[in-house]
Structure 1
């Protein structure tokens, strides 16, 4: 090595030249030269054999070729070194690789197989604060922190042992002046025959700093300066993994997922600039809540903006639902005070979904789905509140979603069936009609009644094809009863119709087509609509009802007495029947209050179901009289006892429906009831 970087190892230890053994044949056109070892003079060095005889030219290197003994020494040479006396003596030229190693701008060190520094260049010394010779004999792995990470330590040892070709890694070191230093370390053999490896160290602090700045921009929201969705999910995944496998934590995580109530109105009316300032102010209060919640604990909840006006507070190592509830309450309290934004006082509240559970067995996606569902519950329950995740409520929601996803194709798969409940004449007990009630024979959940799926069908629009199927099936069955029992008076069939069927389909055309196809007379079909739907009818629905009435189809108002109860509508709507809601009938006395019954049943007769309700009777009697004056018939629903039936008969109800007469039954059971008294 040159004078600026001398070491105990000759230059051949840095890079091994191609060595030609004495028993090998030299390559043509090459000169085999022995490089003097340190401290060895040119005269003591062994001479290379001459390939061209006495007349061959001298090699171009700084070495010497001994002359034949019989040749006289030229003038100017001494007998000792045979050098011209007139020429000054010069030291051998430094090998080119040695100069490159010393002057390289990259910090480099030669390391032996034991991991000790053999030599280092000036840049290495400058990087680590010392002369290059100071590092000779030191453990290289300690200088560049290759032992703290087990994986890096193992890979480094494999390179030293010759079992790995290269190691490249980034490490964070401490500069001698105290500031942190990021370096990229590369360790690789000098050459296949070399016993040493070359360790190079590149300062990548500037690049790392730029990467960190870019990463911060990518992972933080520019409006609130909070972590964004990407960074939040990284932290959430890391928290779940840490709490699942580390024994030091509680093994649980908690999440408050919140959405601002009323923020859209601020954004739409005052503009996005004011909206952004409001979001930043909300973020400040949320951060303050997180810092207060983390006071005295091992960690502070992470506050992140997930997008729009949605925020999340992640609690790692949570101690239970109480901790999350306290955090949610503090957030609601912090947001109650108005915000001073651009000279205006703005108020917003928040709906918060709270989830707290074991980290093991859950995932970031599952946790966020639960939080999102709970946030929806908080909004549905009235906003400005927090709601805790409820597994049973979620199970009901999941069931609901499963039903929705399979509703549309259930008709095509033939999963629906109809049962029929008799409508019996109050005066003679004979069967006058039936109400068609749909059942869903679900392959997973069993037989479902209408209250489990009709509302879902109305929401997603599948009520239209389902309603067509019910209408056609019921009319076809009514016509079959008529043909099978020609000696009996034909019974009518009552079919429930949803308002969406009137709006989203041509109900008049559907009914006309079914009646024509089945041959059922129009007066043997009754369509039931709820009171709230009929009373609010206007425009197209009202036109459809009038067209159906003109066709001869009966129109009945179902559950009458529970909706608007605007009796003025009855005189203007094409209605032919009223069905009194069962709540009125249940207020009637079930059986006479004799002393024996009272003593035998005790408290049962102290309830509303066991005592007569004069008010209900008066209301029912008034509605029946009003209906009759308007030319309408009245059906009482939920008739369960003979006493109820007798009272309704005395009041003047035309027909009754309920378990006293029959539960909903298959079509063949209705055939048995025809001609008999119920």
Structure 2
């Protein structure tokens, strides 16, 4: 019974039986094997089973495809077409793996199969060479009659061997060569005989090859094996697997060098293609992140002071969403070409890291500001290259990029350097895009501190490090306390208190403001209910700050209702404060939430009014009950000197601010809104605001924010009498 097909990321993988049948058809006629077609299918069925099991495993065991490649050689599939067709079948039939990870795993399997095949074939050739070498050694001297008796057999093996065989003396002169070697090198025997081996130099010869060859001829080594390229007379290139062996006379002195040569040109090309595919991006043909990290690590180890420009296209997602992924791919290819032309032509490595991210490796950076300027120049050139319009079909597309620029300072490894580059790229994005940013250690350290602080928040809430303090909201007409605003505090285990302006934005950015804000609301209503229980005549308004992120949460209205139900605090005595910028342009879902809260009786106040849009027309569309004038607005309008009716000390600008605030208060009252002034710090400010008709105020003039246990005393007091 056939096994059920496995499903990969992009489609079903074939069964072992299906893969074996396709495989058998592809390789059946590529080599002479002592098996009929049915037996070949059975043989390949076992190999297919092993490959599919390895592909399904969590971790790829490279030993499996290595054994598969060797098994093909052992079964006599030894012609170049056998391995070429095998790799083609695997690449086509196992393509449903899909995705970058699947493609990488498939390429690794193909490479391992090819490597196993090559090793097994080399081992087989080595065994043949050893047999020939033994025969050659047996023919060394006429005095050894038994060995010389086999000369005819040696000559037959020498002349008709499928691998190239050559014999050279200790000076490097060729004294004999067989037909196979002449065919490999593309030269007639008369041209090679009596020639010197030193003439076969190739630009890609392994360093030290000829020194080691001289050592062998001198008797200092017995064997030498390597892959070597040769040029043929027609200019073509042939790659060989070359084994050099030394033959000594009975007293151990060097006598001859035997060269065994196998043509591995097709295998070498295949391996070169596979290596290129493993190290290059298939879309742009740029070096991929694997090759980039290899080059970067090599530069760091060589201490050549490299630097990197990490580049990300701005708004590339919009191109994909509007024009399609196919055109997006073509755009990436075009951008890659422009980068190569602009900075790659100067000798810098340009690589694609994935998606719409590219990186330029700049090696040999000078120390000091000169090196920084060189990196900045490369970044500017890259930005200009990306900005050049690109025509794709009828579309002319102009894109920009953001670049993070970092240089190695001797203390970073490759991973750390790229992490710093990624951080710097984020700075360029945050600073407005279409620009580059140079790495700054102090700014990076600050970002790390912010990240660590953000990561600590959940545990800090669990450990009780967060607390609330309350600042009275005072009715200006009679100085009585009508409510309080809950203010969040964070005290670290070492006693240090963090400024809310430092950690609240982090909570909003990370989304932790949602559970944190839920805790604040619950704790504030619980405290208010406790005060009312102690003194039933006390019913203060509880004002709680709410972030835009909380309002967008689908469960927010339900959370508020649940807190009110659990604490017993009346909805009409709860006021939620949202900033002006958070309310303006409120999405439909958030607007519906505001109406639902208002329908429950909850008051909505706009906090920090005067710092944002200040759009009264828009206010008419919102269920808003109160405005809280920003502290800077209040300070400028109320001034800092003189009495309630004495404006002689005001400047012209302060007088204008005074009249503007008065107008805002009158407009708010016209819309049925109450007005609270924040940051009331002086008697003069208090007097001016009361004279302008402001309803309530809060600030140090009345009282600072205090712990919950001090609020009952303040609720019964008249604030500011002693000021």
TM-score, normalization by structure 2: 0.65
Q: Which residue of 1 aligns with 2:400?
A: 350
Deviation, 1:357, is 0.7
Q: Which residue of 2 aligns with 1:322?
A: 373
Alignment partners' CA distance in 2, 1:630 and 1:144: 87
Q: Which runs of 5+ in 2 are unaligned?
A: 1-131, 644-648
* Equivalent in 695, 707, 710 of residue 654 of structure 1: 695
Q: SS of the counterpart of 1:241?
A: helix
Change (3 A) 1:359 1:179: farther
Deviation, 1:519, is 3.4
Residue pair 1:259, 1:310 contacting (<8 A) in 2 also: yes
Deviation, 1:613, is 0.9
Alignment partners' CA distance in 2, 1:508 and 1:338: 49
Alignment partners' CA distance in 1, 2:240 and 2:411: 39
Q: Which residue of 2 aligns with 1:645?
A: 686
Q: Is 1:229 the counterpart of 2:280 in the alignment?
A: no
Alignment of 1:521-560 (within 5 A): 521-534=570-583, 536=585, 541-542=590-591, 544-549=593-598, 551-560=600-609
Q: Is 1:259 the counterpart of 2:277 in the alignment?
A: no
Alignment partners' CA distance in 2, 1:421 and 1:151: 87
User: What CA deviation, in whole Å up to 9, does each residue of 1:95-117 have, x standing for no partner?
Assistant: 634642454343446899x9999
Deviation, 1:331, is 3.5
Q: Which residue of 2 aligns with 1:185?
A: 242
Deviation, 1:214, is 4.2
Deviation, 1:228, is 3.7
Q: Which residue of 2 aligns with 1:23?
A: none
Q: Which residue of 1 aligns with 2:338?
A: 285
Q: Which residue of 2 aligns with 1:56?
A: none
Deviation, 1:548, is 4.0
* Equivalent in 384, 400, 406 of residue 434 of structure 2: 384
Residue pair 1:332, 1:349 contacting (<8 A) in 2 also: no
Q: Is 1:200 the counterpart of 2:260 in the alignment?
A: yes
User: What CA deviation, in whole Å up to 9, does each residue of 1:305-345 have, x standing for no partner?
Assistant: 44454433322223422223223333443455544444x36
Alignment partners' CA distance in 1, 2:317 and 2:470: 51
Alignment of 1:418-497 (within 5 A): 418-441=468-491, 447-484=497-534, 486=535, 489-497=538-546
Deviation, 1:346, is 0.8
Alignment of 1:498-517 (within 5 A): 498-517=547-566
Q: SS of the counterpart of 2:402?
A: strand
Deviation, 1:396, is 4.0
Alignment partners' CA distance in 1, 2:133 and 2:388: 78
Alignment partners' CA distance in 1, 2:561 and 2:318: 47
User: What CA deviation, in whole Å up to 9, does each residue of 1:385-435 have, x standing for no partner?
Assistant: 333334444444434444454545554443422122222333444443221
Deviation, 1:615, is 1.8
Q: Is 1:210 the counterpart of 2:264 in the alignment?
A: no
Deviation, 1:528, is 1.6
Q: Which runs of 5+ in 1 are unaligned?
A: 1-10, 18-34, 46-60, 63-90, 295-299, 595-605
Q: SS of the counterpart of 1:617?
A: helix
Q: Which has the higher contact order (CA 8 A, sep 6+)?
A: 1
User: What CA deviation, in whole Å up to 9, does each residue of 1:13-37 have, x standing for no partner?
Assistant: 85778xxxxxxxxxxxxxxxxx996
Deviation, 1:558, is 1.5
Alignment partners' CA distance in 2, 1:445 and 1:123: 89
Deviation, 1:256, is 4.7
Residue pair 1:289, 1:327 contacting (<8 A) in 2 also: no
Q: Which residue of 1 aligns with 2:90?
A: none
Bigger helix share: 2
Q: SS of the counterpart of 1:591?
A: coil
Alignment partners' CA distance in 2, 1:346 and 1:109: 63
User: Bigger CA drift: 538-547 or 526-535?
Assistant: 538-547
Residue pair 1:110, 1:118 contacting (<8 A) in 2 also: yes
Alignment partners' CA distance in 1, 2:619 and 2:295: 65
Q: SS of the counterpart of 1:663?
A: coil
Q: Which residue of 2 aligns with 1:587?
A: 636
Larger radius of gyration: 1
* Equivalent in 299, 302, 305 of residue 242 of structure 1: 299
User: What CA deviation, in whole Å up to 9, does each residue of 1:446-465 have, x standing for no partner?
Assistant: 64444334444445543332
Aligned residues: 571
Q: Is 1:622 the counterpart of 2:675 in the alignment?
A: no
Change (3 A) 1:390 1:492: same
